[in-house]
A = this chain, B = another copy of it.
Amino acid sequence: MPKDNHTYKIHFLPEDKLVDIEEGITVLEAAHKAEVYISSICGGVATCGKCKVVVEEGRVDSPYTPLLAPEEVAKGYVLACQTKALSDLLISVPPETRLEEGQILVTTEAKEARPGMVGGLVPGLEYSHDPLVKKLYIELAPPTMEDSLADYERLRLAIMLREGIKLECLVAELGVLKAMPRLLRESHWRLTATLADWAGTREILGLEPGDTAKNLWGVAVDVGTTTVVAQLLDMASARVIDTEASYNSQMKWGEDYIQRIIYATERPTSGGLDEMQRTIVNDINELISALTLRNGLRPEEIMALCCSGNTAMMHFLLGLDPTLIRKEPYIPTANSIPPLRARELGIDINKKAPLYCLPSVAAYVGGDITGGATAIGLDQQEALCLFIDIGTNGEVVLGNKDWMVCCSASAGPSFEGSGVRHGMRAAPGAIERLKITEDFQLSYKVIGNRNPRGICGSGLLDSISALLCSGAINKSGKFVRGTTPRVRESEEGLEFLLVEGPKSATGGDIVITQADISNLIRSKAAIYAAISTLLEAMHMKATDIQRVYLAGGFGSYLDIHNTITIGMLPEMPPERIHFVGNSSLAGSRLSLLSREAFSNVKEIASKMTYFDLMANPHFMEEFISANFLPHTNPDEFPTVYQELSRGVKAMD
């Protein structure tokens, strides 16, 4: 760097983090450098207005932006992505701008299973407990003149008989062979072999003297666009030991993965893709480090890793070029990834441990969906099922044991708490349940039982439904002036006061804005339109659907009734709808614990037919019709219409 460049010290509050930056670097970039996590949906191009910070001390170069209200400007608010230091700075990051910290709620409850089996997310769904990496305790007969089989053949034969595999499909690296003769003899021919699935073969990863078959750990990871969740598994007993979640640190380059693809691919010379990969690998390493530390293990004791995630996340994780994912005709580099050593990516577990990635179906339907479909046993269902995973995208699968069609709608991250003024993820301080009484009194439940600082997916769903039922918004989602003093004017139009400043953790009011409502309606409309499009393509009606499995990071369990009230799901008896939580993580866990489940995932990936909604004229029509609460067509929601017209919509 040129010597005559100024460097400035930027001090971030309340994190109390200090960083030296070069002149010309934005405050957002300085925050990344300081590891202060700041919301930024647009990826730093001044369109989302999420990265508001307050300049407490110092001089800055910050251009005018319509995204800041005049009173905000007066208070020293700037957009971090557009602001450059002209001196040392003291910056305070307001709560609404901070990426929240604290334990993220992970809902993924495996059902009970019989001995020797592992349970899926649906009662009665079981896969055989037969992990992708397993340990076999073996007692060999020592060689004699009459039985002079070579060491490796003696061992292979024993494994072959136990595992029922073809001899030639069992392999080992040279290092294992080199150490084998001594180990066999020193262990008196009693040893434990660690065996891994490796595409069509099985690899002997290592040998240990004696019986260590009970000591085998693996980690299943859901690599989400927003949240990364890792689960420590006792592979021998198929028990979940612990779960840890964190934000995906790639968020500093945009909350939407399309923004990240742009960053990764338009900065090829500055190694954008490498940076993106290092970041997610680092997140996974930190989760594993936390899990192992907390449970008295060393990272080298982790012998297997399984990752599920959308196609873009898998490309980032593996360092595969994601450019074409976002360009017509939307072609991933690879849907299915051969096993590889986790160490090859810099993941800090046992150097021989394989990484398995759940296969994708297409650019916008990833391993989170094939894994999720396995976790609910979609391919084993006689009944017609609908499987919906709501994250930044909303992926929808329709089908049963005979066929499966799927698609992906850009739902937007509203239900993950993004794109909503006071939206946040399901972490402590988030309103997760909300009711509005007829006299506009609110009751709500906050994660961690504290003062709220925002509202998460399940709370937002409740809010829209309650606002609609209470009459505070109409069927177009527009606030109705005068229904209650809680509907009030703001700089940006009408808004609804959820929590008054004194009762919130931030000291400021928590509101839902007109724009928030519009975003949430667009999200639910996208999902509904996707469902309609698939049904239409299959010449089916919503009433044909016998079961709905709803997955996603909403937080706690969803109020199923409300998903129908707002028109996210088609009208149907609510008992047909099941919330299954993080099915991607469950798919990853099941794959690691059951070769049968992993094989199912692969079969599902090859069996699913992908419908591209962009190329589908029906979708846009449906989307427009669904931009209404619950829908423009009353015939599709007769009961909801009836209840709304009676004004007696139950709010349980």
Contact = CB atoms under 8 A, between A and B. Distances in A.
A331 interface: yes
Interface stretch (A126-134, A247-255, A290-298, A334-342): A334-342
Given A148-B612, A177-B337, A181-B321, 18 more contacts: A143-B329, A150-B332, A150-B334, A150-B362, A152-B332, A153-B334, A169-B199, A169-B200, A172-B338, A173-B338, A173-B340, A174-B318, A177-B318, A178-B321, A178-B333, A181-B323, A181-B333, A199-B201
B344 A174 contact: yes
A329 B363 contact: no
A71 interface: no
A600 interface: no
Interface of A: 143-145, 147-153, 166-174, 177-178, 180-182, 198-201, 318-321, 323-324, 328-340, 344, 360, 362-363, 602, 606, 610, 612, 615
Contacts of A612: 145, 148
Given A174-B318, A319-B174, A606-B167, A330 B148 contact: yes
A145 B153 CA distance: 51
Nearest to A323: B181
Contacts of A330: 148
Nearest to A332: B150
Contacts of A201: 198-201
A244 to B, nearest CB: 26
Instruction: Count chain B CB atoms within 10 A of each CB in A199, A328, A330, A332 and give the residue with the most.
Output: A199
A199 B334 CA distance: 23
B318 A148 contact: no
A81 B201 CA distance: 50
Given A168-B602, A199-B171, A335 B152 contact: yes
Contact of A148 (B200, B337, B363): B363
Contact of A153 (B147, B199, B335): B335
A374 to B, nearest CB: 16
B331 A145 contact: no
Contacts of A335: 150, 152-153
B145 A320 contact: no
A336 B152 contact: yes
Contacts of A344: 174
Contacts of A318: 174, 177
24 contacts: A147-B329, A148-B329, A148-B330, A148-B331, A148-B362, A148-B363, A150-B334, A150-B335, A151-B324, A151-B334, A166-B200, A168-B199, A169-B199, A171-B339, A173-B340, A174-B320, A174-B344, A177-B320, A178-B320, A180-B334, A181-B320, A181-B323, A199-B200, A201-B201
